[in-house]
Structure 1
């Protein structure tokens, strides 16, 4: 009987950007979501109002930090 063991090493662990609360500026947040995802303004607004919503999934850490900064500025 042969036991095989595998080790998976990932250098960059992908991050997810999740919107938890758009506050009172939903339209500004929807515009930021539109810029980040490329969705239409209508779909971005729906995504911004149905929280918690995953805006970006599996992005590198630098991209996730930039997205969070853009959403916080909105």
Structure 2
């Protein structure tokens, strides 16, 4: 049973590509619009800019506000 080394992962690559293509069609419905990191077409910086706008609006309106920065780690 001889197989060239380059063909060993071929079936895996085909299945992975099929699954990735199918998931990409529904991914926007699965991931919340507030998640900005690691999503095609969204920038990590957008979350930082939105947070900055919220803080500036709270300062301008003189309303009390509280900001939590949460850092999750695996």
User: TM-score, normalised to structure 1's length?
Assistant: 0.22
Say which structure is richer in helix.
2
Say which structure is richer in strand.
1
> Which has the greater radius of gyration?
2
Higher relative contact order (CA closer than 8 Å, sequence separation 6+): 1
User: TM-score, normalised to structure 2's length?
Assistant: 0.22
